[in-house]
């Protein structure tokens, strides 16, 4: 009979050609006051919410801006030692250095995507392979060179401007 589901049919529909295979979720819960006037989360609240959002599989968690206010600054200062982000992906313009790679491993970030290589200080591909070292108790996937030329130009322009040129 038409209009009735076929009991042998696949329950999950096949997406149309060209459709994304997954949906990325972006969450702004941690931006104080951005959703409703008067919202003011403590730093402890923000850390716990970030962990729960990661546990739920949220891909993008905006934690605020470190220079915006003392609370956001404290959140970013405490996050590396207090958060365990098993599903997080860290995107950065420049290959992480040894110090950053240590913080990445400590927070259990799942994946790192970076643009430009750093031949002088890069600890992910250039000088070492810290994030994928089998001797360590945590490793993460590394995706190097994404928009490398654009990332390098962005960094050059930033420092050119800072130097007054």
State the chain's mean pLDDT as an integer: 80
DSSP string, 29-72: TTSTTSSSTT----HHHHHHHHHHHHHTT-SEE----TTT-HHH
Look at residue 133 and tell me whether its pLDDT is greater than 90.
yes
pLDDT in the model for residue 130: 96
Question: Across-strand partners of 89?
Answer: 111
Write the pLDDT tens digit of every residue in 48-102. 888 888 888 777 777 776 667 788 788 878 887 888 777 778 888 899 999 889 8
Q: How does residue 110 score in pLDDT terms, banded at 50, 70 and 90? A: confident
């Amino acid at each position: 009979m038409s209009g009735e589901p076929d009991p042998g049919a696949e329950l999950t529909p096949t997406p149309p050609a060209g459709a994304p295979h997954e949906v990325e979720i972006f969450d702004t819960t941690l931006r104080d006051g951005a959703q409703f006037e008067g919202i003011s989360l403590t730093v402890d609240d923000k850390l716990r919410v970030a962990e729960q959002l990661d546990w739920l599989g949220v891909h993008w968690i905006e934690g605020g801006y470190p220079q915006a206010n003392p609370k956001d600054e404290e959140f970013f200062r405490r996050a590396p030692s207090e958060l365990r982000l098993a599903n997080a992906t860290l995107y950065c313009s420049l290959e992480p250095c040894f110090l950053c790679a240590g913080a990445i491993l400590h927070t259990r970030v799942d994946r790192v995507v970076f643009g430009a290589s750093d031949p002088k200080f890069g600890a992910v591909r250039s000088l070492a392979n810290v994030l994928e070292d089998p001797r360590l108790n945590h490793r993460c996937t590394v995706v190097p060179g994404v928009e490398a030329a654009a990332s390098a130009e962005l960094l050059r322009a930033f420092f050119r401007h800072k130097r007054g040129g």
